[in-house]
Structures are given as structure tokens and as C-alpha cells.
Amino acid sequence: MKIIITESSRDRLVLKWLNREFGDLTPAVVGDKTFYVDEDRKPLFFYYQDSKNGYLYINPERIWVFFESIFGLNYSDSQAIVKVWLEETYNLRGLTPGPARSILMSFGWRRPII
């Protein structure tokens, strides 16, 4: 069965899901990066503190792939919704979110920070 919803309803649903699942992350500064970690200290996203590039790197499995498979979102829709969520929930403005597919292969998303 296929359910059809409007784009604005879908966006509100995704924002509600993000807040329920990841609305209580804690910032953890490690070196030149600020990670936002869950209760198990596993990172969901990070950005470079001194970088002028303005990018915020997100765990692709926990957010991007989920959005594509469950909500049917494309890259630009996912990016726009996550940007709103980051601004509203964590007051992170001026950052462009995107999946960190290769940047953290050596770091690993599944390991706790500190």
C-alpha cells in the first residue's frame, strides 16, 4: 500500500523523527572537530571548528540512507530538512550538511568518542 502525503507534511514528519531519535545529542570537542554524540558517545555528525568550508559531515547510515530508503528523500531534500533541523535543534547556522562517506572511513562512525 502506498501512502501519498504532501511535501510539507513529509518534512514535518521527518523533523519530528529527527527530534525524537537525535534531539538530545551532546557536543564533544576532539582536536579540531566538534562531534555531536548520542548517549553511547557514538557520533551522529561533526564539523571542523576552524574550517571556513562550512560543511557538516553526517553519519550516512544513521541519517542519509535511512531518509532515502524509508522516506524516499533525494539528496537535496535530505540536505534541506537536515539544515533546518540543525538550525532549530542545535542552533548550528551557516553549515551545509552532507553524508560523510569517505571522510571518516579511518575514524569510524561506530566507535564511541572519548
At 84-107, the pLDDT tens digits run 999 999 999 999 998 876 655 445
Does 51 fall in a domain?
A: yes
Does 112 fall in a domain?
A: no
> Is it the case that residue 1 has pLDDT exceeding 60?
no
Does 2 fall in a domain?
A: no
Does 91 fall in a domain?
A: yes
pLDDT band for position 35 (cuts 50, 70, 90): very high
Rounded distance between C-alpha atoms, residue 111 and residue 23, angstroms: 20
More confident residue, 109 or 46: 46
The model carries a pTM of 0.83
Q: Cβ(99)–Cβ(63) under 8 Å?
A: yes
Does 111 fall in a domain?
A: no
Beta-carbon contacts of 59 under 8 Å, excluding residues fewer than 6 positions away, are: 43, 44, 45, 99, 100, 109
Domain region containing 17? 7-99
How many domains are contained in the chain? 1
Does 93 fall in a domain?
A: yes
Does 62 fall in a domain?
A: yes
> Tell me, what's the pLDDT at 77?
92
Does 106 fall in a domain?
A: no
pLDDT band for position 108 (cuts 50, 70, 90): low
